[in-house]
Amino acid sequence: MKMLPTVLANLFSKPATRDYPSYVREPFPHARGELVNDIDRCIFCGTCSRKCPSQCITVSRDSSTGTWNLEAYACIGCGICVMSCPVSCLSQKNTHRPVGTTKTMITLTAKLPEKPSKKTEKRTEPAQ
């Protein structure tokens, strides 16, 4: 008998859970969601790949082109790669990828940035 008020309250109130994916709540502004790489700024240094705890990033390069791969559903959204990228080309949206049932590999390629030339600077003394 003691539980009757609780049972009745639960019976006639809305469920505490949401009907996902029909209903998706508003994301929190600083939530760590989908990982994005602005590939034109990437220098293919491989730091993100070495730091990633779930080993879902691979980076490769040949003489002129770099390739950045992300196994999208293996990413746990920790943000370590974003924090360690030296050129800040990685970022995270505050929303998550739509649910999927197969492995998804995201492959981005771009030209490697040009190396700075090794020309030595000539110094000229100011005229006195």
- Taking the complex as a whole, the smallest distance from the CB of residue 55 to ligand SF4 amounts, in Å, to 8
From the CB of residue 30, how many other CB atoms can be counted at a distance below 10 Å? 7
| Binding-site member from 54, 60, 94, 95 for ligand SF4 (CB under 6 A) | 54
| Binding-site member from 36, 58, 59, 73 for ligand SF4 (CB under 6 A) | 59
- Taking the complex as a whole, the smallest distance from the CB of residue 23 to ligand SF4 amounts, in Å, to 26
- Taking the complex as a whole, the smallest distance from the CB of residue 32 to ligand SF4 amounts, in Å, to 7
| Binding-site member from 8, 19, 35, 112 for ligand SF4 (CB under 6 A) | 35
Contacting ligand SF4 within 87-106 (CB under 6 A): 87, 89-90
What does the chain come to in residues? 128
Residues that bind ligand SF4 (CB under 6 A): 35, 37, 42-48, 52-54, 56-57, 59, 68, 75-81, 85, 87, 89-90
